[in-house]
Amino acid sequence: MSIGGFLALFNGTPMKIVVWRLLGVRMGRRVFDDGCAIPEKTLVHVGDDAALNATSVLQAHSLEDGAFKSDHIVIGPGVTIGPRGFVHYGVTVHEGAMLDADVFLMKGQEVPAYTRWRGNPAAETRDPYVAPPQSRSPAALVVTLVLAALILAALPAGVALALATWPVPPAVAPAIPAGATDVDPATDDEPADDADVDGAEPDPAVDADAATDANAATDADPTSPDPSADDEAGTSGSDPAEDDGGTDVSGQDAEPASEPAP
C-alpha cells in the first residue's frame, strides 16, 4: 500500500493529524483533515482549528522552466480550505480566511484575515458571511461571572427546598386474603377457648338459642336419634342390654311389665 492509500484510512479522524505530525507536518490543535494532500510535509505549517476539506492540496514546490522551486506554506488558525482547493508554494493565509471550492492560490499570495477568496486564479470577494469574531467587553465578562456566582449560591437552597417539599408516600397496610380474619399474630399459637377473644364470658342466652336450634333440626330429621328418648330411658332404670323385642341378650325372655291397678 502506498503512503497515500495508508493516509486515506485516517481521513476525517483525529488520527490523521497524529500521522501528519509523525511525518513532519507542523499541525495545530483541533485540525480537521478530510483528505488533504501535502507533498512537502516539512514545509507546511497549519494553525489551530483549521479545516482541510477533501481532495484539497497544499503543494510547496513547482517546476518552472526546468528549475525546481519550493517555499513554505503557512495556514493560519481557523482557516477553511474548500474541496479541491489548491494552495501553491510561498502562500500565507491569515486567521479566519475562507477559500471556496476549486480555488487556486497562486505562488507567493497573501490572504488577509477574515476574507473570502474564490476562483482560478483566486481573488477576494466581499462576502458578509465571513466576519471577525467580536471581542467581549470587560462589562460582559463581569456580568457573566456575577450570574455564575448567583447560580452557584442558589443551587444548595434549591436542592434543600426540593427535598423539603418532596411528597412522602402514605403507609399502605398489608393486604388481607379473602376469608381470613384480622387476628393478632401474637395470639395465633394460643389455643382457642369458649371465651371471646376480648376475654368476655359466653352469653347463656346465645347458648340456649343454639341448643333450641339444634333440637329443632333433630326433630325435623326422622332418621336422627332422639336424644330426649335416650335421656328418658336412662332415667327410668331400663337395662341398656335389653333389645326392642323384650328379649334379654343372654336368651331369656324378659318378664312382662305388670299392669297398673285400676
For the segment 53-66, what is each residue's pLDDT rounded down to a tens digit?
999 999 999 988 88
Cell numbers that stand for 43 in this block: 514545509
Domain that holds residue 57: 3-123
In 177-253, where does DSSP find H-type helix? Answer: 204-220, 227-235
Buried b or exposed e, range 14-44, using 16+ CB within 10 angstroms: eebbebbeeeebebbeebbbebbebebeebb
Q: Does some domain include residue 29?
A: yes
Q: Does some domain include residue 205?
A: no
The answer to whether residues 78 and 60 touch, using CB atoms and an 8 Å cutoff, is no
Identity of the residue numbered 246: G
Per-residue pLDDT tens digits for 87-116: 999 999 999 899 999 999 999 899 998 889
Per-chain mean pLDDT for the chain? 75
Beta strand extents in 76-167 (DSSP E only) = 80-81, 86-87, 92-93, 98-99, 104-105, 110-111, 116-118, 123-125
Q: Does some domain include residue 24?
A: yes
DSSP 37: B
- CATH number of the domain within which 59 lies: 2.160.10.10
Q: Does some domain include residue 44?
A: yes
13 compared with 260, residue with greater pLDDT: 13
